[in-house]
Amino acid sequence: MKVALVYDRVNKWGGAERVLLALHKMFPDAPLYTSVYNKETAEWANVFEIRTSPLQSLPFARKYNELLALLMPIAFESFSFDEFDLVISVTSEAAKGIITKPGTMHICYCLTPTRYLWSGYDDYFQNGLVRLFSKPAVSYLKRWDLIASRRPDYFIAISSEVKGRIKKYYGLDSEIIFPPLMIEKSNSINKKGNYFFLFVSRFSRFSYYKKADLVIDAFNKTKLPLKVVGSGPMLGKYEYVSNSNIEFLKELTDEELRRYYENCKALIFPGSEDFGLVMAEAQSFGKPVIAFKSGGAIDIIKEGITGEFFEEQTSESLIKALREFDFKRYNKADIMRHSERFSFEIFTNFSSTSSPVTLKSGRKL
């Protein structure tokens, strides 16, 4: 069986990219189709045979691909998948819009319906003038996105939140398959750990929903120790306003990140995200999560057992949760057992679905 993978753009590192590596482990010979590829910022993709769209030849495409939204439909419709039996698109934007023939099965692993067109429209287009002048483009992209949503043979959602959005915006049913944990446990345990909180994020103007400002404000006020992992063009802004109790670690290797997961007191997760793989990663090390009660956190956290929720997306609500948080009440083994729902083995055979996807060959994924 010949398999191909499709992803919106290969130019960064995050939870979706870990999903692609899991799929590569399942289908090591599958090429990865994408609109644009930046080798410098996506070293993780070196394991793939990358096949890019005509947009790759544009001189600014790899660094400023956000400006190419209107060309994304053309980019993905330009690919041919006639040689493949199965195509899996991993997408939060246009990759689901590929065109396949009846003999090729297309499974869409949906990270979310296109955020800036649907659930995040008001946040992306807060400026009145920007909203006014972008209206024709947004209308065109919405129409195309609805057409594209009819092209996959199966829709699979990464969380209950995303399943609801697929139904709301596309009118389609979907199964839920959680993204897999791909970070290995650390063999080194720092006996001086459990004194700091951990926040993992990206820092760009398109990552507003991660609510880094909320976390920085809360820890500036409480003076509690916080270690921040992540990078991006907006990072300097947060470093400038942070007090000395907040340490910025920037990008870490998986080995380094493992040590911080193992030795933190709890992970802070203030955003309303599609899933939030870092929460599952922290739990796989037996660490509780303090999260805003929304999005993927509702699937991942069992309140009082694997973490706690705060009800309002404000620094005051987070501060209240921090003051009430008692690390000693959590059982590390219980948290680790809970994280087994996100294992690679479950992801591999799709056994978490009520009606497992079966290929035309009769083989389960």
- Judged against a pLDDT cut of 70, whether residue 176 lies above it is answered with yes
Q: Domain 3-180+344-349 belongs to what topology?
A: Rossmann fold (3.40.50)
Which among 160, 178, 167 is positioned nearest to 280, based on CA atoms?
Answer: 178
Q: Tens digit of pLDDT for each residue in 233-246?
A: 888 899 999 999 99
Q: Tens digit of pLDDT for each residue in 152-168?
A: 999 999 999 999 999 99
At residue 137, the 3 state secondary structure works out as helix
What pLDDT sits at residue 333?
94
What pLDDT sits at residue 234?
83
Q: Tens digit of pLDDT for each residue in 277-312?
A: 999 999 999 999 999 999 999 999 999 999 999 999
What pLDDT sits at residue 353?
44
Per-residue pLDDT band for 67 (boundaries 50, 70, 90) equals: confident
Per-residue pLDDT band for 349 (boundaries 50, 70, 90) equals: low
What pTM, to 2 d.p., does this model score?
Answer: 0.86
Mean pLDDT score of the chain, rounded to an integer? 89
- Judged against a pLDDT cut of 90, whether residue 350 lies above it is answered with no
Cα–Cα distance for residue pair 212/274, rounded to 1 Å? 17
Instruction: Provide the residue ranges of all domains of the chain, joining segments of one domain with +.
Output: 3-180+344-349, 197-342
- Judged against a pLDDT cut of 80, whether residue 174 lies above it is answered with yes
Query: What letter does residue 142 receive in the DSSP assignment?
Result: H
Q: Which CATH class is domain 197-342?
A: alpha beta
Counting DSSP H helices and E strands in the chain, the numbers are: 13, 13
**Stretch among 75-84, 122-131, 266-275 having the lowest mean pLDDT:** 122-131
The two three-digit tokens of residue 174, written as one number:
């979907």
- Judged against a pLDDT cut of 90, whether residue 131 lies above it is answered with no
β-pairing, 289-292 with 266-269? parallel
Stretch 117-142: mean pLDDT, rounded? 81
Q: Which helix (H) or strand (E) holds 108?
A: strand 105-110
- Asked if domains 3-180+344-349 and 197-342 share a fold, the reply is yes
* Residues with Cβ within 8 Å of residue 239, at least 6 apart in sequence: 248
